[in-house]
Structure 1
Amino acid sequence: MAPTSSDPGSTDLGSYATLELDLTDGILTLTVNRPQALNALSQQVISDLWKAFTAIEDSCTHDAGWPVRGVILTGAGGKAFVAGADIREMASMEPDDAAEYARSAQGVTLLIEKVPVPVIAAVDGFALGGGCELALACDFIYASEAAQFGQPEVNLGLVPGFGGSVRLPQRVGLGPARELIYTGRRIDAAEALRLGLVNRVLPTRQELLAAARATLGEIAPKAPLAVGLAKQSITGAYGLHTGQGLEIEAGLFREAFTTEDMREGTTAFLEKRKASFAGK
Protein backbone atom coordinates (compact mmCIF):
# COMPACT_ATOMS: atom_id res chain seq x y z
CA MET A 1 0.00 0.00 0.00
CA ALA A 2 1.34 3.45 -0.92
CA PRO A 3 1.90 5.89 1.92
CA THR A 4 -0.64 8.57 2.67
CA SER A 5 0.78 11.89 3.72
CA SER A 6 -0.09 15.33 4.98
CA ASP A 7 3.48 16.55 4.38
CA PRO A 8 3.70 18.84 1.34
CA GLY A 9 6.29 17.65 -1.12
CA SER A 10 7.14 14.53 0.83
CA THR A 11 9.12 11.75 -0.78
CA ASP A 12 7.36 8.77 -2.32
CA LEU A 13 8.38 5.87 -0.11
CA GLY A 14 6.92 3.22 -2.41
CA SER A 15 4.13 0.68 -2.15
CA TYR A 16 4.31 -2.78 -0.61
CA ALA A 17 2.36 -6.01 -0.61
CA THR A 18 2.65 -6.60 3.14
CA LEU A 19 3.11 -3.14 4.63
CA GLU A 20 0.93 -0.09 5.20
CA LEU A 21 2.60 3.32 5.41
CA ASP A 22 1.17 6.55 6.77
CA LEU A 23 3.30 9.70 6.88
CA THR A 24 1.86 12.55 8.93
CA ASP A 25 3.76 15.56 10.29
CA GLY A 26 7.09 13.88 9.66
CA ILE A 27 6.19 10.70 11.55
CA LEU A 28 5.90 7.52 9.49
CA THR A 29 3.73 4.75 10.87
CA LEU A 30 4.84 1.53 9.21
CA THR A 31 2.46 -1.37 9.82
CA VAL A 32 3.20 -5.01 9.02
CA ASN A 33 -0.11 -6.07 7.50
CA ARG A 34 -0.51 -9.86 7.55
CA PRO A 35 -3.06 -10.21 10.35
CA GLN A 36 -4.25 -13.58 9.03
CA ALA A 37 -0.73 -14.91 9.75
CA LEU A 38 -0.23 -12.80 12.91
CA ASN A 39 2.13 -10.63 10.83
CA ALA A 40 4.73 -13.41 10.63
CA LEU A 41 8.00 -12.53 8.91
CA SER A 42 7.64 -14.24 5.56
CA GLN A 43 10.31 -13.71 2.95
CA GLN A 44 7.97 -11.18 1.31
CA VAL A 45 7.63 -9.19 4.54
CA ILE A 46 11.40 -9.18 4.99
CA SER A 47 11.88 -7.99 1.42
CA ASP A 48 9.26 -5.26 1.87
CA LEU A 49 10.83 -4.10 5.15
CA TRP A 50 14.23 -3.92 3.49
CA LYS A 51 12.87 -1.81 0.63
CA ALA A 52 10.86 0.44 2.96
CA PHE A 53 13.74 1.19 5.31
CA THR A 54 16.06 1.71 2.33
CA ALA A 55 13.57 4.30 1.01
CA ILE A 56 13.45 5.92 4.46
CA GLU A 57 17.24 6.09 4.59
CA ASP A 58 17.37 7.57 1.08
CA SER A 59 14.85 10.25 2.08
CA CYS A 60 17.07 11.45 4.93
CA THR A 61 18.91 14.10 2.95
CA HIS A 62 18.61 17.86 2.58
CA ASP A 63 17.68 17.47 -1.10
CA ALA A 64 14.72 15.27 -0.14
CA GLY A 65 13.78 17.64 2.67
CA TRP A 66 13.96 15.03 5.46
CA PRO A 67 10.25 14.16 5.11
CA VAL A 68 10.61 11.38 7.71
CA ARG A 69 11.77 12.47 11.16
CA GLY A 70 10.78 9.29 13.00
CA VAL A 71 9.22 5.86 12.44
CA ILE A 72 6.64 3.88 14.41
CA LEU A 73 6.88 0.19 13.53
CA THR A 74 3.80 -1.83 14.47
CA GLY A 75 1.59 -4.73 13.40
CA ALA A 76 -1.98 -4.93 12.12
CA GLY A 77 -4.91 -6.86 13.53
CA GLY A 78 -4.63 -6.31 17.26
CA LYS A 79 -3.33 -9.80 18.13
CA ALA A 80 0.32 -9.47 17.23
CA PHE A 81 3.11 -7.02 16.60
CA VAL A 82 4.93 -9.76 14.72
CA ALA A 83 4.31 -13.28 15.99
CA GLY A 84 7.66 -14.52 14.71
CA ALA A 85 9.25 -16.05 11.64
CA ASP A 86 7.02 -17.74 9.09
CA ILE A 87 7.06 -21.36 10.27
CA ARG A 88 5.23 -22.62 7.16
CA GLU A 89 8.00 -21.28 4.96
CA MET A 90 10.78 -22.45 7.27
CA ALA A 91 9.50 -26.03 7.53
CA SER A 92 10.56 -26.83 3.97
CA MET A 93 13.89 -24.98 4.00
CA GLU A 94 17.24 -26.69 3.59
CA PRO A 95 20.14 -25.48 5.79
CA ASP A 96 21.55 -23.13 3.16
CA ASP A 97 18.09 -21.69 2.52
CA ALA A 98 17.67 -21.10 6.25
CA ALA A 99 21.02 -19.31 6.45
CA GLU A 100 20.00 -17.01 3.61
CA TYR A 101 16.63 -16.37 5.29
CA ALA A 102 18.37 -15.47 8.56
CA ARG A 103 20.88 -13.18 6.86
CA SER A 104 18.15 -11.33 4.98
CA ALA A 105 16.24 -10.72 8.22
CA GLN A 106 19.44 -9.73 10.00
CA GLY A 107 20.05 -7.27 7.17
CA VAL A 108 16.72 -5.60 7.92
CA THR A 109 17.59 -5.28 11.61
CA LEU A 110 20.96 -3.74 10.77
CA LEU A 111 19.24 -1.31 8.41
CA ILE A 112 16.79 -0.27 11.16
CA GLU A 113 19.80 0.49 13.37
CA LYS A 114 21.44 2.41 10.51
CA VAL A 115 18.63 4.72 9.39
CA PRO A 116 19.41 8.18 10.83
CA VAL A 117 15.99 8.67 12.42
CA PRO A 118 14.58 7.14 15.62
CA VAL A 119 12.47 4.01 15.22
CA ILE A 120 9.99 3.02 17.92
CA ALA A 121 8.56 -0.50 18.00
CA ALA A 122 4.94 -0.17 19.15
CA VAL A 123 4.20 -3.69 20.39
CA ASP A 124 0.60 -4.76 20.90
CA GLY A 125 0.10 -8.51 21.28
CA PHE A 126 2.72 -11.11 20.37
CA ALA A 127 6.35 -10.21 19.75
CA LEU A 128 7.86 -13.67 19.68
CA GLY A 129 10.98 -15.03 18.02
CA GLY A 130 11.60 -12.93 14.94
CA GLY A 131 9.06 -10.39 16.15
CA CYS A 132 10.97 -9.83 19.37
CA GLU A 133 14.19 -9.63 17.37
CA LEU A 134 12.68 -7.04 15.03
CA ALA A 135 11.62 -4.94 18.03
CA LEU A 136 15.09 -5.28 19.58
CA ALA A 137 16.62 -3.57 16.53
CA CYS A 138 14.51 -0.45 17.14
CA ASP A 139 15.71 2.51 19.20
CA PHE A 140 12.88 2.22 21.73
CA ILE A 141 10.22 -0.40 22.47
CA TYR A 142 6.84 0.79 23.73
CA ALA A 143 4.31 -1.90 24.66
CA SER A 144 0.62 -2.18 25.42
CA GLU A 145 -0.47 -4.15 28.48
CA ALA A 146 -1.49 -6.94 26.07
CA ALA A 147 2.06 -7.37 24.73
CA GLN A 148 3.95 -10.64 25.12
CA PHE A 149 7.64 -11.14 24.39
CA GLY A 150 9.78 -14.24 24.01
CA GLN A 151 12.38 -16.20 22.08
CA PRO A 152 10.65 -19.59 21.83
CA GLU A 153 12.88 -21.07 19.12
CA VAL A 154 14.09 -23.98 21.29
CA ASN A 155 10.50 -25.26 21.35
CA LEU A 156 10.89 -25.87 17.60
CA GLY A 157 14.40 -27.31 17.73
CA LEU A 158 15.82 -23.96 16.60
CA VAL A 159 17.89 -21.07 17.92
CA PRO A 160 17.33 -17.34 17.43
CA GLY A 161 18.41 -16.41 13.93
CA PHE A 162 17.47 -12.76 13.49
CA GLY A 163 19.69 -11.23 16.21
CA GLY A 164 18.11 -12.40 19.46
CA SER A 165 21.23 -14.02 20.89
CA VAL A 166 23.13 -10.77 20.26
CA ARG A 167 20.69 -7.96 21.05
CA LEU A 168 18.65 -9.52 23.88
CA PRO A 169 21.72 -9.78 26.20
CA GLN A 170 22.54 -6.17 25.32
CA ARG A 171 19.06 -5.07 26.44
CA VAL A 172 18.42 -7.18 29.53
CA GLY A 173 21.83 -8.59 30.53
CA LEU A 174 23.44 -11.96 29.94
CA GLY A 175 21.72 -13.98 32.70
CA PRO A 176 18.12 -12.95 31.94
CA ALA A 177 18.72 -13.36 28.19
CA ARG A 178 20.08 -16.87 28.65
CA GLU A 179 17.09 -17.80 30.79
CA LEU A 180 14.59 -16.48 28.25
CA ILE A 181 16.31 -18.13 25.29
CA TYR A 182 17.04 -21.51 26.95
CA THR A 183 13.52 -21.87 28.37
CA GLY A 184 11.63 -20.33 25.46
CA ARG A 185 9.53 -18.61 28.11
CA ARG A 186 7.06 -15.85 27.26
CA ILE A 187 6.92 -12.74 29.42
CA ASP A 188 4.24 -10.09 29.71
CA ALA A 189 4.68 -6.35 29.31
CA ALA A 190 5.15 -5.74 33.04
CA GLU A 191 8.01 -8.26 33.23
CA ALA A 192 9.53 -6.86 30.03
CA LEU A 193 9.51 -3.40 31.62
CA ARG A 194 11.12 -4.74 34.80
CA LEU A 195 13.90 -6.36 32.78
CA GLY A 196 14.52 -3.21 30.73
CA LEU A 197 13.39 -4.84 27.50
CA VAL A 198 10.78 -2.13 26.93
CA ASN A 199 10.87 1.59 27.64
CA ARG A 200 7.22 2.16 28.48
CA VAL A 201 3.96 0.23 28.96
CA LEU A 202 0.64 1.81 28.02
CA PRO A 203 -2.84 0.44 28.81
CA THR A 204 -4.23 0.22 25.26
CA ARG A 205 -3.13 0.15 21.64
CA GLN A 206 -4.53 3.64 21.10
CA GLU A 207 -2.54 5.02 24.02
CA LEU A 208 0.52 3.07 22.88
CA LEU A 209 0.50 4.65 19.43
CA ALA A 210 -0.25 8.08 20.88
CA ALA A 211 2.71 7.82 23.26
CA ALA A 212 5.05 6.75 20.45
CA ARG A 213 3.83 9.62 18.30
CA ALA A 214 4.28 12.08 21.18
CA THR A 215 7.89 11.01 21.70
CA LEU A 216 8.71 11.26 18.01
CA GLY A 217 6.89 14.59 17.90
CA GLU A 218 9.24 15.81 20.62
CA ILE A 219 12.27 14.67 18.59
CA ALA A 220 11.07 15.85 15.14
CA PRO A 221 11.89 19.58 15.59
CA LYS A 222 15.46 18.83 16.66
CA ALA A 223 18.33 19.04 14.19
CA PRO A 224 17.86 15.88 12.10
CA LEU A 225 21.56 15.49 11.32
CA ALA A 226 22.39 15.74 15.02
CA VAL A 227 19.79 13.12 15.93
CA GLY A 228 21.19 10.85 13.23
CA LEU A 229 24.76 11.36 14.42
CA ALA A 230 23.72 10.66 18.01
CA LYS A 231 22.10 7.40 16.91
CA GLN A 232 25.22 6.48 14.93
CA SER A 233 27.42 7.22 17.94
CA ILE A 234 25.38 5.14 20.39
CA THR A 235 25.00 2.20 17.98
CA GLY A 236 28.63 2.28 16.88
CA ALA A 237 30.14 2.60 20.34
CA TYR A 238 27.94 0.11 22.18
CA GLY A 239 29.91 -2.88 23.43
CA LEU A 240 33.31 -1.44 22.59
CA HIS A 241 36.11 -0.68 25.01
CA THR A 242 35.56 2.79 26.49
CA GLY A 243 38.50 4.28 24.62
CA GLN A 244 37.28 2.93 21.29
CA GLY A 245 33.79 4.22 21.92
CA LEU A 246 35.10 7.67 22.81
CA GLU A 247 37.03 7.78 19.53
CA ILE A 248 33.80 7.15 17.62
CA GLU A 249 32.02 9.81 19.66
CA ALA A 250 34.77 12.39 19.11
CA GLY A 251 34.74 11.81 15.37
CA LEU A 252 30.98 12.29 15.15
CA PHE A 253 31.17 15.34 17.47
CA ARG A 254 33.64 16.80 14.96
CA GLU A 255 31.30 15.95 12.08
CA ALA A 256 28.47 17.88 13.75
CA PHE A 257 30.67 21.00 13.54
CA THR A 258 30.66 20.71 9.73
CA THR A 259 26.87 21.17 9.55
CA GLU A 260 24.85 24.33 9.02
CA ASP A 261 22.43 23.06 11.65
CA MET A 262 25.14 23.29 14.31
CA ARG A 263 25.79 26.93 13.39
CA GLU A 264 22.07 27.66 13.41
CA GLY A 265 21.55 25.93 16.76
CA THR A 266 24.38 27.70 18.57
CA THR A 267 23.52 31.07 17.04
CA ALA A 268 19.86 30.70 17.99
CA PHE A 269 20.87 29.84 21.54
CA LEU A 270 23.05 32.94 21.84
CA GLU A 271 20.36 35.12 20.24
CA LYS A 272 17.72 33.64 22.58
CA ARG A 273 15.46 32.51 19.75
CA LYS A 274 14.07 29.19 18.53
CA ALA A 275 16.35 27.41 16.08
CA SER A 276 15.15 26.54 12.59
CA PHE A 277 16.98 23.47 11.33
CA ALA A 278 17.27 22.77 7.60
CA GLY A 279 18.86 19.35 7.93
CA LYS A 280 22.16 20.28 6.30
Structure 2
Amino acid sequence: MADGAIEQTVQIERVNRVGWIVLNRPGQINAINPALRLEVTQALEQLDSDPEMGVIVIRGAGERGFCAGADIKAQSDATSLPTLRAGMTPGWIEALDRVRKPVIAAIHGFCLGGGLEIAMACDMRIAAPSAVFGLPETSLGLIPGGGGTQRLPRIVGLGRALDLLLTGERIDAAEAHRIGLVSRLATASDHLIDEVQVLAERIAAKPASALAYVKEAARDGLEMDLRAGLKLEKDLFVLLMSTDDRREAAAAFKEKRQPVFTGR
Protein backbone atom coordinates (compact mmCIF):
# COMPACT_ATOMS: atom_id res chain seq x y z
CA MET A 1 0.00 0.00 0.00
CA ALA A 2 2.92 2.30 0.59
CA ASP A 3 3.42 5.19 -1.81
CA GLY A 4 6.08 7.18 -0.01
CA ALA A 5 6.74 9.61 2.81
CA ILE A 6 6.94 13.37 3.02
CA GLU A 7 9.07 13.01 6.12
CA GLN A 8 9.37 10.64 9.01
CA THR A 9 6.31 11.64 11.03
CA VAL A 10 3.74 11.36 8.21
CA GLN A 11 3.40 8.85 5.38
CA ILE A 12 1.19 9.04 2.32
CA GLU A 13 -0.30 5.88 0.81
CA ARG A 14 -2.37 5.77 -2.38
CA VAL A 15 -4.79 2.92 -3.04
CA ASN A 16 -6.96 3.29 -6.13
CA ARG A 17 -8.61 6.71 -5.67
CA VAL A 18 -8.10 6.86 -1.92
CA GLY A 19 -5.20 8.76 -0.37
CA TRP A 20 -4.20 7.70 3.14
CA ILE A 21 -2.36 10.03 5.52
CA VAL A 22 -0.63 7.94 8.17
CA LEU A 23 0.42 9.61 11.42
CA ASN A 24 3.72 7.84 11.87
CA ARG A 25 5.02 8.17 15.42
CA PRO A 26 3.84 4.80 16.75
CA GLY A 27 6.31 4.78 19.63
CA GLN A 28 4.58 7.90 21.00
CA ILE A 29 1.06 6.77 19.99
CA ASN A 30 1.38 9.28 17.14
CA ALA A 31 1.55 12.22 19.53
CA ILE A 32 1.51 15.63 17.88
CA ASN A 33 4.76 17.57 17.61
CA PRO A 34 5.72 20.51 15.35
CA ALA A 35 7.01 18.25 12.55
CA LEU A 36 3.80 16.23 12.47
CA ARG A 37 1.68 19.40 12.37
CA LEU A 38 3.62 20.69 9.37
CA GLU A 39 3.67 17.39 7.52
CA VAL A 40 -0.05 16.71 7.98
CA THR A 41 -0.75 20.12 6.45
CA GLN A 42 1.55 19.37 3.52
CA ALA A 43 -0.01 15.94 3.00
CA LEU A 44 -3.53 17.38 2.97
CA GLU A 45 -2.55 19.98 0.38
CA GLN A 46 -0.80 17.37 -1.76
CA LEU A 47 -3.72 14.92 -1.81
CA ASP A 48 -6.40 17.59 -2.17
CA SER A 49 -4.68 18.89 -5.31
CA ASP A 50 -4.19 15.41 -6.80
CA PRO A 51 -6.94 14.79 -9.41
CA GLU A 52 -6.41 11.04 -9.13
CA MET A 53 -7.49 11.03 -5.47
CA GLY A 54 -11.19 11.21 -4.64
CA VAL A 55 -11.19 10.71 -0.86
CA ILE A 56 -8.61 11.28 1.90
CA VAL A 57 -8.32 9.04 4.97
CA ILE A 58 -6.29 9.80 8.11
CA ARG A 59 -5.16 6.96 10.37
CA GLY A 60 -2.51 6.29 12.98
CA ALA A 61 0.43 3.90 12.62
CA GLY A 62 1.02 1.10 15.10
CA GLU A 63 -1.32 -0.92 17.27
CA ARG A 64 -1.79 1.46 20.20
CA GLY A 65 -3.89 4.20 18.72
CA PHE A 66 -4.91 6.85 16.24
CA CYS A 67 -3.32 9.74 18.14
CA ALA A 68 -2.78 10.32 21.87
CA GLY A 69 -2.84 14.10 21.53
CA ALA A 70 -0.06 16.60 22.04
CA ASP A 71 3.49 15.48 22.68
CA ILE A 72 3.78 16.71 26.27
CA LYS A 73 7.56 17.12 26.04
CA ALA A 74 7.32 19.23 22.90
CA GLN A 75 4.52 21.25 24.48
CA SER A 76 6.43 21.84 27.73
CA ASP A 77 9.40 23.10 25.72
CA ALA A 78 7.20 25.79 24.13
CA THR A 79 5.83 27.90 26.97
CA SER A 80 6.17 31.45 25.61
CA LEU A 81 3.03 32.97 24.12
CA PRO A 82 4.61 33.69 20.69
CA THR A 83 5.87 30.10 20.45
CA LEU A 84 2.52 28.63 21.48
CA ARG A 85 0.60 30.84 19.04
CA ALA A 86 2.99 29.95 16.22
CA GLY A 87 2.31 26.27 16.84
CA MET A 88 -1.46 26.69 16.73
CA THR A 89 -2.13 29.03 13.79
CA PRO A 90 -2.58 28.97 10.89
CA GLY A 91 -2.67 25.82 8.81
CA TRP A 92 -2.71 23.06 11.41
CA ILE A 93 -6.07 21.41 12.16
CA GLU A 94 -7.67 24.33 10.30
CA ALA A 95 -6.09 22.95 7.13
CA LEU A 96 -8.80 20.29 7.16
CA ASP A 97 -11.42 23.02 6.72
CA ARG A 98 -9.80 24.01 3.43
CA VAL A 99 -9.85 20.51 1.93
CA ARG A 100 -12.56 20.16 -0.71
CA LYS A 101 -12.43 16.37 -0.89
CA PRO A 102 -14.16 14.18 1.69
CA VAL A 103 -11.88 13.34 4.63
CA ILE A 104 -12.42 10.26 6.80
CA ALA A 105 -10.76 9.52 10.14
CA ALA A 106 -10.10 5.78 10.60
CA ILE A 107 -9.73 5.46 14.36
CA HIS A 108 -8.33 2.65 16.48
CA GLY A 109 -7.05 2.59 20.04
CA PHE A 110 -6.41 5.91 21.76
CA CYS A 111 -7.98 9.01 20.22
CA LEU A 112 -7.36 11.68 22.83
CA GLY A 113 -6.93 15.44 23.07
CA GLY A 114 -5.54 16.84 19.84
CA GLY A 115 -6.02 13.44 18.23
CA LEU A 116 -9.76 13.70 18.80
CA GLU A 117 -9.66 17.27 17.52
CA ILE A 118 -8.11 16.03 14.27
CA ALA A 119 -10.82 13.39 13.99
CA MET A 120 -13.62 15.88 14.69
CA ALA A 121 -12.31 18.16 11.92
CA CYS A 122 -12.75 15.30 9.44
CA ASP A 123 -16.02 14.80 7.58
CA MET A 124 -16.59 11.24 8.79
CA ARG A 125 -15.25 9.21 11.71
CA ILE A 126 -15.11 5.42 11.49
CA ALA A 127 -13.97 3.63 14.65
CA ALA A 128 -12.68 0.20 15.52
CA PRO A 129 -14.29 -1.44 18.58
CA SER A 130 -10.98 -0.85 20.39
CA ALA A 131 -11.15 2.94 20.08
CA VAL A 132 -11.15 5.13 23.18
CA PHE A 133 -12.04 8.83 23.05
CA GLY A 134 -11.46 11.74 25.40
CA LEU A 135 -10.48 15.38 25.86
CA PRO A 136 -8.38 15.42 29.06
CA GLU A 137 -7.08 18.99 28.80
CA THR A 138 -8.79 20.36 31.93
CA SER A 139 -6.89 17.81 34.01
CA LEU A 140 -3.70 19.44 32.69
CA GLY A 141 -4.85 22.96 33.53
CA LEU A 142 -5.76 23.68 29.91
CA ILE A 143 -8.70 23.65 27.53
CA PRO A 144 -8.70 22.08 24.06
CA GLY A 145 -6.85 24.39 21.68
CA GLY A 146 -7.52 22.77 18.32
CA GLY A 147 -11.26 23.24 18.01
CA GLY A 148 -12.47 20.78 20.65
CA THR A 149 -14.69 23.24 22.52
CA GLN A 150 -16.34 24.31 19.26
CA ARG A 151 -16.64 21.14 17.21
CA LEU A 152 -17.69 18.73 19.96
CA PRO A 153 -20.90 20.64 20.89
CA ARG A 154 -21.78 20.88 17.20
CA ILE A 155 -21.39 17.12 16.81
CA VAL A 156 -22.93 15.71 20.01
CA GLY A 157 -24.83 18.65 21.51
CA LEU A 158 -23.88 21.11 24.23
CA GLY A 159 -24.85 19.06 27.29
CA ARG A 160 -23.01 15.90 26.30
CA ALA A 161 -20.03 17.93 25.10
CA LEU A 162 -19.70 19.79 28.41
CA ASP A 163 -19.91 16.48 30.28
CA LEU A 164 -16.88 15.22 28.34
CA LEU A 165 -15.03 18.54 28.44
CA LEU A 166 -15.49 19.22 32.16
CA THR A 167 -14.80 15.70 33.42
CA GLY A 168 -12.12 14.74 30.91
CA GLU A 169 -13.54 11.22 31.06
CA ARG A 170 -12.92 8.69 28.33
CA ILE A 171 -15.62 6.86 26.42
CA ASP A 172 -15.41 3.68 24.36
CA ALA A 173 -16.29 3.22 20.71
CA ALA A 174 -19.80 1.96 21.40
CA GLU A 175 -20.66 5.05 23.46
CA ALA A 176 -19.02 7.34 20.89
CA HIS A 177 -21.22 5.77 18.23
CA ARG A 178 -24.33 6.04 20.41
CA ILE A 179 -23.91 9.79 20.92
CA GLY A 180 -22.97 10.44 17.28
CA LEU A 181 -19.29 11.24 17.79
CA VAL A 182 -18.48 8.51 15.27
CA SER A 183 -20.75 7.67 12.36
CA ARG A 184 -19.81 4.01 11.89
CA LEU A 185 -18.13 1.15 13.75
CA ALA A 186 -15.91 -1.40 12.04
CA THR A 187 -17.02 -4.99 12.52
CA ALA A 188 -13.68 -5.79 14.19
CA SER A 189 -10.51 -3.88 14.99
CA ASP A 190 -8.48 -5.76 12.40
CA HIS A 191 -11.12 -5.03 9.74
CA LEU A 192 -10.97 -1.24 10.14
CA ILE A 193 -8.57 -0.40 7.30
CA ASP A 194 -10.20 -2.73 4.79
CA GLU A 195 -13.73 -1.56 5.62
CA VAL A 196 -12.76 2.11 5.44
CA GLN A 197 -11.05 1.48 2.09
CA VAL A 198 -14.24 -0.07 0.69
CA LEU A 199 -16.35 2.84 1.95
CA ALA A 200 -13.89 5.44 0.67
CA GLU A 201 -13.75 3.84 -2.78
CA ARG A 202 -17.54 3.88 -2.95
CA ILE A 203 -17.56 7.59 -2.19
CA ALA A 204 -14.61 8.33 -4.50
CA ALA A 205 -16.50 6.77 -7.42
CA LYS A 206 -18.95 9.69 -7.39
CA PRO A 207 -18.39 12.95 -9.30
CA ALA A 208 -15.78 15.07 -7.54
CA SER A 209 -17.74 18.29 -7.98
CA ALA A 210 -20.86 16.81 -6.39
CA LEU A 211 -18.82 15.61 -3.40
CA ALA A 212 -17.14 18.99 -2.98
CA TYR A 213 -20.39 20.92 -3.25
CA VAL A 214 -22.41 18.72 -0.91
CA LYS A 215 -19.62 19.05 1.65
CA GLU A 216 -19.56 22.82 1.17
CA ALA A 217 -23.34 23.09 1.51
CA ALA A 218 -23.49 21.03 4.70
CA ARG A 219 -20.42 22.51 6.41
CA ASP A 220 -20.84 26.16 5.43
CA GLY A 221 -24.61 26.01 5.80
CA LEU A 222 -24.20 25.01 9.43
CA GLU A 223 -22.69 28.44 10.11
CA MET A 224 -25.57 30.29 8.37
CA ASP A 225 -29.20 30.92 9.18
CA LEU A 226 -31.62 28.62 7.37
CA ARG A 227 -32.52 31.11 4.63
CA ALA A 228 -28.87 31.70 3.71
CA GLY A 229 -28.12 27.99 3.88
CA LEU A 230 -31.00 27.18 1.53
CA LYS A 231 -29.76 29.81 -0.92
CA LEU A 232 -26.26 28.31 -0.84
CA GLU A 233 -27.71 24.87 -1.52
CA LYS A 234 -29.78 26.15 -4.44
CA ASP A 235 -26.82 28.00 -5.98
CA LEU A 236 -24.61 24.92 -5.80
CA PHE A 237 -27.39 22.71 -7.18
CA VAL A 238 -27.74 25.00 -10.21
CA LEU A 239 -23.98 24.94 -10.82
CA LEU A 240 -23.96 21.15 -10.83
CA MET A 241 -26.85 20.92 -13.30
CA SER A 242 -24.58 22.24 -16.06
CA THR A 243 -21.68 19.82 -15.51
CA ASP A 244 -20.68 17.02 -17.87
CA ASP A 245 -20.61 14.58 -14.96
CA ARG A 246 -24.25 15.33 -14.09
CA ARG A 247 -25.26 14.67 -17.69
CA GLU A 248 -23.18 11.48 -17.76
CA ALA A 249 -24.82 10.25 -14.54
CA ALA A 250 -28.28 10.79 -16.04
CA ALA A 251 -27.33 9.06 -19.30
CA ALA A 252 -25.79 6.09 -17.50
CA PHE A 253 -28.93 5.68 -15.39
CA LYS A 254 -31.15 5.65 -18.47
CA GLU A 255 -28.84 3.26 -20.33
CA LYS A 256 -28.41 0.98 -17.29
CA ARG A 257 -24.63 1.15 -17.32
CA GLN A 258 -21.86 2.36 -15.04
CA PRO A 259 -21.09 6.08 -15.46
CA VAL A 260 -17.68 7.29 -16.57
CA PHE A 261 -16.95 10.59 -14.86
CA THR A 262 -14.35 13.05 -16.11
CA GLY A 263 -14.37 15.70 -13.38
CA ARG A 264 -15.96 18.26 -15.68
> Contact 1:103 / 1:162 at 8 angstroms: preserved in 2?
no
CA 56–198 in structure 1, closer or farther in 2 if over 3 Å, else same: same
Query: Structure 2 residue aligned with 1:31, among 22, 33, 37?
Result: 22
> Contact 2:5 / 2:11 at 8 angstroms: preserved in 1?
no
Structure 1 residue 20: Cα displacement: 1.6
1:106-145 pair list within 5 angstroms: 107-145=91-129
**How far, CA to CA, are the matches of 2:170 and 2:14 in structure 1?**
33
| Structure 1 residue aligned with 2:183 | 199
Structure 1 residue 3: Cα displacement: 5.4
> Contact 2:136 / 2:168 at 8 angstroms: preserved in 1?
yes
1:1-280 pair list within 5 angstroms: 4=3, 15-59=6-50, 66-93=51-78, 94-104=80-90, 107-280=91-264
Gaps of 5+ in 1: 5-12, 60-65
CA 150–79 in structure 1, closer or farther in 2 if over 3 Å, else same: same
> Contact 1:14 / 1:55 at 8 angstroms: preserved in 2?
no
Over residues 53-110 of structure 1, what are the superposed CA-to-partner deviations in whole Å (9 max), with x where a residue is unaligned?
1111222xxxxxx211112210011111010012111113212222222224xx3333
Instruction: Using structure 2 for the length normalisation, give the TM-score.
Output: 0.94
Structure 1 residue 15: Cα displacement: 2.1
**How far, CA to CA, are the matches of 1:53 and 1:144 in structure 2?**
23
**How far, CA to CA, are the matches of 1:111 and 1:86 in structure 2?**
20
**How far, CA to CA, are the matches of 2:190 and 2:40 in structure 1?**
23
Secondary structure of 1:193's match? Answer: helix
Structure 1 residue 14: Cα displacement: 6.5
Deviates more, 1:267-276 or 1:29-38: 267-276
State the aligned residue count: 263
> Contact 2:33 / 2:70 at 8 angstroms: preserved in 1?
yes
> Contact 1:56 / 1:115 at 8 angstroms: preserved in 2?
no
Gaps of 5+ in 2: none
